[in-house]
A = this chain, B = another copy of it.
C-alpha cells in the first residue's frame, strides 16, 4: 500500500469512528504533514483520495471538511448487550448491562437502582453551582483535598446531630459517591483472601467491592422484616475468621426492611465482642416512611468499629457524586486510601451541595419525596398483587423506593428479564443480589418514577409473562 493510501485510510477510519464529525474540519495539509511526518504532496494526494471517496469535501479558503453523508451513527455508543445466562453469573457485568439497556432503550425503568432524577431539586442546586462559578475566579485543588470541603463536612455533621446521631465532624471524609466510601472502608479493614460477611440477598455493590478486592463473601440469611439473622451470623463467627461485616440496616436494597433498634444494638455488640468492624451502608437514610429518621449502627458503637457510608445520590443529586465515610477508628486509613484512589472529590459539586444544605429547602424537598415514595410503594404493591399469578409475594418496604418480589419458583428471573426487555420493560433479576442461585425466582422493582397508566400496563405485561413461565 502506498503512503498516501495508508494516510487516507487512517483518516477515513477516524471519520467512521466518529473522531471527526460531519461538518468538522480535518487537520490542514500543513498540520497533517507535520503530524504524520510525510510530505505536503503525500497529504494532498491522500486528501484528494478522500474527496473522491466522498468522505471529505473542500471549502474555498477554509480547508477540508467531513461530509454529512459520512456521519457516524454514534459508533462509539455501546450497544445494549443481552446479559449472558451462565452457570456462574458475573454480577457486575449483569448489573452494568441492565443499566445500559435502561439507558439505550428508553425502556420502562423498573429495573433501575436509581431514583427518578426529575424528583431532584435541580433548579436550586444548579443555582448554587452557578453562583459558585461566578464567585470564584479560580479554584485551588488543594482547598478541598481529603477529608474534603470543610463547610460540606460541617453541614453533613449538623444533619446527623439534628437527628440524634453523635458525630465528630473530624471523622467525615468526602468521597465520590457511597460506592467509593464502601470500597475504601472495605480496603481499610480487610485484605485479599479475607472473608467478609454480607446479607443475603445483598445490595450488589457490596458483592462488587468484595469481588474486586480479591476477598471472599459469605452470605448470611437475612429476614425481610428483621434484617440479618444474628444467630446465623454468630454461628459463622464461631466457625471461621470474619474480617468485616457489611450491612444495610435502614431500608435495605433489595428487601426494604428497617432493622429495629434493639437488633441494631445486638448486631453492633456481637461484632464488637469479636473485634469485627461493621461497614454500614446508609444511603437511604433520608427516605424513611415513618415519623423520624431511623438510628444508625453509629448510635450503638462505643468502640469506633462502625464504618458508616452514605451519600446524597438517592435524595438530592446523583450526578454530583457526593458521598462520605465516617470510618470510626479507621479514619486515618480511609483518608489515605481516598487520596490514593481519586486524590480528591471535584470541588464545585462539594461546595454547591454545602450551599444548598445551608438553606432550609432540603427538609421540605425530602418531605415531598417521602410522601411520593410512600404512596407509590402502595400503588406498586397493589398492582403486583392484582396482575401477578398466585404464589407471588412482595416485601413491605419501610423506606427507599424498591419492592422485592418473590415469583412462583419455576420462574427464572433472567428469562423474565429478557422477555420483559423485548417488550420495553426492565427489571432487576434476583441473580444480581447474591453469588448463589437462591434468588433466581425473585425480582426487584423500582417505584420512584411518577406513576402513570404506562406503569400499570408494564406491570400487567410483566404479570402475564410471569404467569406464562410459572
Interface residues of A (CB under 8 A from B): 10-11, 13-14, 17-21, 24, 27, 31, 34-37, 74-78, 92-93, 95-96, 99-100, 102-103, 112, 114, 117-118, 120, 122-123, 126-127, 129-130, 133-134, 136-147, 150, 153-154, 157-158, 160-164, 166-170, 176-177, 179-180, 183, 187, 191-192, 205, 208-209, 211-212, 214, 291-292, 313, 317-321, 336-337, 339-349
Residues of B within 8 A of A177 (CB): 342-343
- Inter-chain CA distance A254–B138, complex, in Å, is 26
With A19-B161, A342-B321, A348-B129 as contacts: A76 and B212 at CB distance below 8 Å: no
CB pair B150–A340 under 8 Å, yes or no, is no
CB pair B157–A19 under 8 Å, yes or no, is yes
CB pair B142–A20 under 8 Å, yes or no, is no
- Inter-chain CA distance A394–B130, complex, in Å, is 44
- Inter-chain CA distance A134–B123, complex, in Å, is 8
With A17-B157, A17-B168, A122-B138 as contacts: A343 and B292 at CB distance below 8 Å: no
20 interchain pairs, CB-CB under 8 A:
A14-B167, A18-B157, A19-B167, A35-B162, A35-B163, A74-B150, A76-B153, A76-B170, A92-B336, A99-B142, A103-B142, A118-B138, A126-B134, A129-B130, A130-B134, A176-B346, A319-B344, A321-B346, A346-B349, A348-B348
Q: Which 9 pairs, one residue from A and one from B, show the smallest C-beta to C-beta distance?
A: A35-B164, A126-B133, A319-B347, A141-B318, A176-B342, A103-B142, A76-B169, A19-B157, A139-B319
CB pair B36–A164 under 8 Å, yes or no, is yes
Residues of B within 8 A of A318 (CB): 139, 141
CB pair A340–B19 under 8 Å, yes or no, is no
Given contacts A14-B166, A341-B341, 10 further A-B contacts (CB under 8 A): A14-B167, A17-B168, A35-B162, A37-B164, A114-B141, A117-B140, A130-B130, A140-B319, A211-B340, A321-B346
CB pair A17–B142 under 8 Å, yes or no, is no
The distance from the CB of A222 to the nearest CB of chain B, in whole angstroms, is 22
The distance from the CB of A366 to the nearest CB of chain B, in whole angstroms, is 15
- Inter-chain CA distance A123–B14, complex, in Å, is 32
Residues of B within 8 A of A144 (CB): 319
The distance from the CB of A43 to the nearest CB of chain B, in whole angstroms, is 12
